[in-house]
Amino acid sequence: MTQTQTPKSDLGGRFTLPGTSLTPNRLGYGAMQLAGPGVFGPPRDRDEALAVLREAVDRGIDHIDTSDFYGPHITNQIIREALHPYPAGLTIVTKIGARRGADKSWPAALSKAELTSAVHDNLRNLGLDALAVVNLRMSAGHHHPVDGPIEEPLNALVELKRQGLVRNIGLSHVTPGQVQAARAMTEIVCVQNQYNLAHREDDALVDGLAADGIAYVPYFPLGGFSPLQSSTLSEVAAELEATPLQVALAWLLQRAPNILLIPGTSSVAHLRDNLKAGSLRIPPEQVARLDAIGSGAEAQGSALPRNG
């Protein structure tokens, strides 16, 4: 019997993380939604969660974003069950700096002991000897990044890199000032902040990192938890015969060459829809109209539709 091969998707081209041999496709996958409601506890459908991961890799995705505080522990355990031993070329990026409370809260966990424990949790639950990229997440418990000292937790992560447990360091939920301070201490390969059509506070940071060849990875690229109904987005999507979510992702790919996407979903059908964004090209006139969303009245206090 002839086995049918899953067609590979156009994943937006490749980007090389600075100072590394890692060259992931620009359209990746975020694993946060593989846990249960509120990113806590087991998924509603574990078999579907496993299927999503396997489909993603079969379609050519080679960049998975995760954290051991998703679940906690559960998302990483599902990744290991679905994909271990991992295929050559797969880059798993994780993050540390928060933990989960019994009430599903996200308190900070930035002491040296907590960061060290978090790295070992990620290693154990993913089944790895070293982590390819670890993002230091600051400002836990805050909706927006809050400026403050980054040196002490970053020094702890640099020490874990010296020990060979972490190969590369990134940042998450940080201010431009924290990015500057971190880059003075060690090489930073990526920055992960909230950014999408409606949330454009990081425009200057995106451009500055692009000039220096550092990846920018927007979380909630499809909006996260607070939906926006944008008439402009819907109109452009209709004109391009695409969905609003596909247009939102394609806009990010065209926004800057250093943007790497990690849209998340717990559905194989939604995953396939998301991947179509990699081959969608938005003409300049529509790009200009979409650009106006972030500065217009439509964007006030909202985000894009969540994709589950």
Question: What are the tokens at 58?
Answer: 């079969």
Contact 96, 119 (CB under 8 A): yes
Hey, which residues does 166 pair with through a beta bridge?
131
User: Distance between CA atoms of 51 and 79, rounded to whole angstroms?
Assistant: 10
User: Distance between CA atoms of 223 and 297, rounded to whole angstroms?
Assistant: 17
Amino acid symbol at 70: Y
Question: What are the tokens at 11?
Answer: 């994943």
Is 70 catalytic? The answer is yes
Catalytic residue among 70, 195, 216, 219: 70
DSSP assignment of 156-211: HHHHHHHTTSBS-EEEES--HHHHHHHHTTS-EEEEEEE-SSS--TTHHHHHHHHH
Burial of 148 (0-12, 13-18, 19+ CB in 10 A): exposed
Chain CA centroid to CA 304, Å: 16
Residues 6+ apart with CB under 8 A from 134: 93, 94, 95, 96, 119, 122, 157, 160, 166, 168, 169, 170
- Phi then psi for residue 93, to 5 deg, are -110, 130
Active site residues: 70
